[in-house]
Structure 1
Amino acid sequence: MRPASARLRAGLLATCTALTALATIGPASADAASTTRLSGDWAPFSRCPVDDPAMLAADGRTDIVQCIASHSASGTIKLGNTNVITGASDLQVGVVQHTGGTNSLVAPAGGALIADSADIPGGLLGLMCPNDVPVIGDICRQITNGTLNRVTATVESAGTPTDFNLTAGATSGQPIIAIPIRIHLQNPFLGNSCYIGSAAHPIVLRPQNVTAPTLGIQRFDGNGTPNTAGDMNRLSLVNASQTDTTFAVPGASGCGLAGLLDWAVNLKTGLPSAAGKNSVVLNSASTYLAGLHAPGTVVPDNGKLLSQYWHSAAQ
């Protein structure tokens, strides 16, 4: 009988070989995810959770509801030793403003944040090779083409955002919102459960504007048609790059069979990484907030009317 270490290595390699048949990579992206296409000034709010019970229950007096959408076409993220150029990202939530100035956020069913996948520079070769550890060395020798080498990283929601601050969104230098995320690393050898961060231990981004955005206010009808006397208001905060350098990053987990590749990924990427050693930049972020112009006049139907108007704008 072969030694346990040899059996373990053979089992791992057999599993990795089988995983190459599952090499199709590409979860829903920020531009390709299922959304509702809306008309006119409703357009940015394609995923607003207007039918969530917490939104529908808002009366317009003690609770007032609005939709928030923030989109960035590109950016960068640094995790430990690894820098990645990112694609489009889209953050959408509903906000319930309570009497006394507090608020609570409601995430869409598919998660508040969706983002395009990005390629890790150097792929698996860059993450783990060269390496003289037998199991890792065997994997390195099997990486013979781009499909086996390619590693994609996709930012995913890991919970509902908190701590929304509208004043911070209209100015600069203050955290606007706290966004819990995890990062999904995908490659045939890593399997489908390789993550940096989790729902229990997320990476929490707190982006802030580098410079104050350009402010605009529009009135529009319930169906999205611009109208200076319309029932709806939209606040636009555009062309403000955002950044955060305050977040910590945990180590990777679930990489390879039974997590046997976690240590290799963490070693080369410099994870876990303490707060202050990581960063994210969102280029030219455009943020919008929409709600009824006079919610106090529609008590107790603020939430129900917002949902009705949103659906009336669907194309």
Structure 2
Amino acid sequence: MRFTLGTRVATTTVALGTALGAFASMGTATAAAAAPNGEWAPFTRCPVDAPAMLAADGLAQTPQCVVSTSPNGTIKLGNTTVTTGKTNLQIGVIQNSDGTSSVVAPAAGALIADSATVPGGLLGLMCPSNLPGLTAICEQLSDSTLNKITATVESVGAPYDFDQTAGILTDQQIVAIPVRIHLENPILGSKCYIGTKTSPIVLRPKNLQFPEFGMSFFNGDGTVADDGEMSRINLTGATQNDTSFAVPGASGCGLGLFGLIDAAVNAKTGLPSAAGKNSLTLNNTQTYLAGLNAPGTVAPDAGKRLAQNWHSAVN
């Protein structure tokens, strides 16, 4: 079955509730971005200029922009639960005529998020420790600067296994998002991660309840118009969750200490942790999808028209 924004009837069946607000390849969800007008406003990082998006002809491939945000949530890794702040996912989606879809990530990464503070800091994450060489470090952690740890979840590749129909359903995995978690603290050093580029944590969120559905039509420059050539799908209010992912142990922590801090962190937090023992929750997700109403009428230039329209709306 093919789902596109090709007609106003088809748009009502587009299932892109990928409100994966998930997490970040940049340090904060307020990172600098474009400021489009009107109905384009949420789409600050849509990769409209990516070669695959520009090449979409509107017949065999239909290009679309997707943004999904969450104001807050939680992530549990082993024995540690962290409250997350604002998260933002933006991707390009190419709907193929055979019913499959492809995901295109922005050059700087699909996901951004506010960094989170790890409860208890390094004291809670590593101490007390019975490992020789770490006792002296634990004794110094009453200093708040040394104790504080921030955690930022980073993209490590484009999302994949995208299932558009899962976005308007419940209990269906929507997309796979490979990530790693960067733990930052003066003692941990700059290369302390849970998960790596080659062995990432893979998040697969799903809706816990049906999102509310809405729709608008607009001109290329973002101005609302009932006869506009663009459509926007609005899927809002759902909580998303994932308990399917495994978490590897920490690595690269505390350079020069021969893996002692890695071992202490992993022992205290219960890492590595098998699938089913970890969880992700994203509250009040807000997902928007924009595309041409009739991409076939501008074939073979649908991708170019989408990019032209987006750029016409950017301040």
Where 2:226 maps in the other structure, the secondary structure is coil
- Deviation string 1:113-171 (CA, Å, 9 cap, x unpaired) is 11111011100000111224332111111223211100011011011001222211112
Letter in 1 for 2:134: I
Q: Give the aligned partner of residue 82 of structure 1.
A: 80
Where 1:154 maps in the other structure, the secondary structure is strand
Mapped contact 2:131–2:260 kept (Cα < 8 A): no
Mapped contact 1:191–1:255 kept (Cα < 8 A): yes
Aligned match of 1:195 in 181, 193, 196?
Answer: 193
Q: Which runs of 5+ in 2 are unaligned?
A: 1-23
1:31 Cα deviation from its structure 2 partner? 3.0
CA distance in 1, matches of 2:121, 2:130: 18
- Deviation string 1:33-87 (CA, Å, 9 cap, x unpaired) is 1211111111111111000001001111111100111000000000000011110
Letter in 2 for 1:177: V
Letter in 2 for 1:290: A
Aligned match of 2:70 in 72, 97, 101?
Answer: 72
Q: Give the aligned partner of residue 33 of structure 1.
A: 31
Q: Give the aligned partner of residue 11 of structure 1.
A: none
Letter in 2 for 1:139: I
1:260 Cα deviation from its structure 2 partner? 3.5
Letter in 2 for 1:46: T
CA distance in 2, matches of 1:192, 1:131: 22
Paired residues, number: 290
Query: For residues 1-315 of structure 1, what are the structure 2 equivalents within 5 Å?
Result: 28-258=26-256, 259-315=259-315
> 1:201 and 1:172, CA in 2 relative to 1: closer, same or farther beyond 3 A?
same
- Deviation string 1:199-229 (CA, Å, 9 cap, x unpaired) is 1011111100100000011111111111111
Where 1:284 maps in the other structure, the secondary structure is strand
Letter in 2 for 1:282: L
Where 2:311 maps in the other structure, the secondary structure is helix
1:29 Cα deviation from its structure 2 partner? 4.0
1:28 Cα deviation from its structure 2 partner? 3.9
Where 1:44 maps in the other structure, the secondary structure is coil
Where 1:134 maps in the other structure, the secondary structure is coil
Mapped contact 1:30–1:90 kept (Cα < 8 A): no
Relative contact order, higher structure (CA 8 A, sep 6+): 2
Letter in 2 for 1:265: V
Q: Give the aligned partner of residue 12 of structure 1.
A: none
| Aligned Cα root-mean-square deviation (Å) | 1.3
Mapped contact 1:128–1:136 kept (Cα < 8 A): no
Q: Which runs of 5+ in 1 are unaligned?
A: 1-25
Where 2:133 maps in the other structure, the secondary structure is helix
Letter in 2 for 1:292: L
Scaled by the length of structure 2, what TM-score is found?
Answer: 0.90
Structure index of larger Rg: 1
Scaled by the length of structure 1, what TM-score is found?
Answer: 0.90
Identify which range, 107-116 or 129-138, moves more after superposition: 129-138
Where 1:167 maps in the other structure, the secondary structure is helix
